[in-house]
């Protein structure tokens, strides 16, 4: 019998002590020249994006509402665009909480990546703005809420329902990798449900661009989804995202992540040393895909075309995912309806003057 999901509410619902930033690569179809060109857009310097041409979003256009998410450096707030009346999600980043040049680079990198993406299943980016104390990253508000909220109420999904979400996530990962970007934080909290029932992937603060043939050794992401090579610090590349797809698919089907434990340390021990054994009741195609995605050896792990052509996805038209029947279509009544999104408590703002304002020029 499949284990039901335990209700987890708010942002950072899991044990997320390892959410840190990084850079790195793998199996993708980019040429070396294309990869180098993609990486040339990202600099090691904190102010690398100050001369960017991204459209600024006027802070005066925003009418702030409730908090709908908590992050490492601030909150995500529901807001209304005064000009259009539409709902927006605004990531508020407390400048004083950034503290280090590495964290400043991180927020500029997130902005640059979001601004470069053009995919129907990725959250739309509208622009950025700032004031004396905060940076503001303005995105569409995806009014169906988090997939995790749906799973918390519904429990484990059928194979057909899980295939729908896995296919759409696979499409986004394939696109990101084609752009030389590794996502590194796939989880049901970051998969949002649009009004049509299709997904929108959000939260790119762990994403980075990669140079061809390189690996990164930075620890980031969410405990239950970490790949063995990240925990062991042996270096990781694009194959890490396919591991997280395996964890994601297992969670959809069985209501829990496969290496979970009450003790955070034991999660890492299980990921490194415990053999993955899917429950006996699943069909052979699902079993084979899960085992291939959750291969502890990145060089043997299923990835890219091998995933998309797998028998588990038989019948999926990768060029027309809009033809797939959503597992759930949320009820959204008005432009500002946020009934599917949980309101959270305000986060206490840091005190003191921000002295390094020049670091944020051009955001």
> Domain 47-143+335-357 - what CATH class?
alpha beta
What pLDDT was estimated at residue 346?
A: 67
Instruction: Count CA within 13 A, CB hemisphere, residue 174.
Output: 17
Per residue in 257-267, pLDDT tens?
999 999 989 99
Q: What is the pLDDT of residue 50?
A: 29
Instruction: Cite the residue boundaries of each domain of the chain with CATH code 3.30.200.20.
Output: 47-143+335-357
Q: For 69, phi and psi rounded to 5 degrees?
A: -165, 150
Q: Which residues of the chain have pLDDT under 50?
A: 1-54
Distance of alpha carbon 294 from alpha carbon 278, whole angstroms: 10
What's residue 30's pLDDT?
32
Burial 162-186, CB ≥16 within 10 A → b, else e: bbbbbbbbbbbbbbbbebbbbbbbb
pLDDT of residue 347: 57
Query: What is the domain class of 147-323 according to CATH?
Result: mainly alpha
d(CA 298, CA 185): 17
pLDDT at 342: 84
185 catalytic per annotation: yes
Provide the pLDDT for residue 150: 94
Bridge partners (DSSP) of residue 59 are none
The catalytically annotated residue of 24, 94, 185, 203 is: 185
> Can you give the pLDDT at residue 17?
32
Where in the sequence of the chain do the CATH 1.10.510.10 domains occur? 147-323
Task: Give pLDDT, residue 352.
Answer: 63
pLDDT tens-place string over residues 286-295: 999 999 999 9
Q: What is the pTM of this model?
A: 0.83
Tell me the Ramachandran region of residue 213: left when phi exceeds 0, alpha when psi lies from -120 to 50, beta otherwise. left
């Amino acid at each position: 019998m499949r284990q039901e999901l335990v209700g987890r509410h708010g942002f950072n619902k899991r044990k997320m002590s390892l959410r840190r930033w990084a850079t790195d690569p793998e199996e993708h179809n980019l040429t070396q020249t294309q990869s180098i060109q993609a990486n040339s857009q990202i600099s090691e310097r904190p102010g690398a994006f100050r001369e960017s041409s991204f459209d600024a979003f006027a802070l005066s256009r925003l009418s702030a509402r409730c908090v709908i998410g908590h992050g490492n450096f601030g909150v995500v707030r529901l807001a209304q665009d005064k000009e259009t009346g539409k709902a927006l999600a605004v990531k508020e980043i407390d400048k004083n909480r950034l503290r280090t040049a590495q964290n400043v680079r991180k927020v500029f990198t997130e902005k640059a990546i979001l601004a470069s993406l053009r995919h129907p299943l990725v959250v739309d980016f509208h622009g950025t703005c700032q004031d004396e104390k905060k940076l503001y990253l303005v995105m569409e508000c995806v009014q169906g809420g988090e997939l995790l909220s749906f799973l918390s109420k519904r429990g484990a999904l059928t194979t057909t329902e899980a295939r729908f979400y896995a296919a759409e996530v696979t499409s986004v990962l394939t696109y990101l990798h084609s752009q030389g970007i590794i996502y590194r934080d796939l989880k049901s909290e970051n998969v949002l449900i649009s009004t049509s029932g299709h997904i929108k992937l959000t939260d790119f603060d762990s994403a980075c661009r990669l140079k061809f043939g390189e690996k990164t050794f930075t620890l980031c992401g969410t405990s239950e989804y970490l790949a063995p090579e990240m925990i062991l610090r042996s270096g990781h590349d694009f194959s890490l995202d396919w591991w997280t797809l395996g964890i994601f698919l297992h969670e959809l089907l069985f209501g829990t992540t496969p290496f979970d434990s009450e003790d955070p340390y034991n999660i890492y021990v299980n990921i490194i040393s415990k053999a993955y054994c899917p429950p006996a009741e699943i069909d052979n195609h699902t079993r084979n895909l899960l085992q291939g995605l959750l291969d502890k050896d990145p060089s043997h792990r299923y990835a890219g075309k091998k995933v998309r052509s797998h028998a588990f996805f038989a019948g999926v038209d990768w060029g027309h995912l809009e033809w797939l029947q959503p597992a759930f279509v949320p009820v959204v009544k008005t432009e500002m309806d946020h009934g599917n999104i949980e309101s959270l408590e305000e986060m206490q703002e840091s005190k003191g003057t921000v002295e390094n304002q020049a670091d944020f020029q051009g955001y």
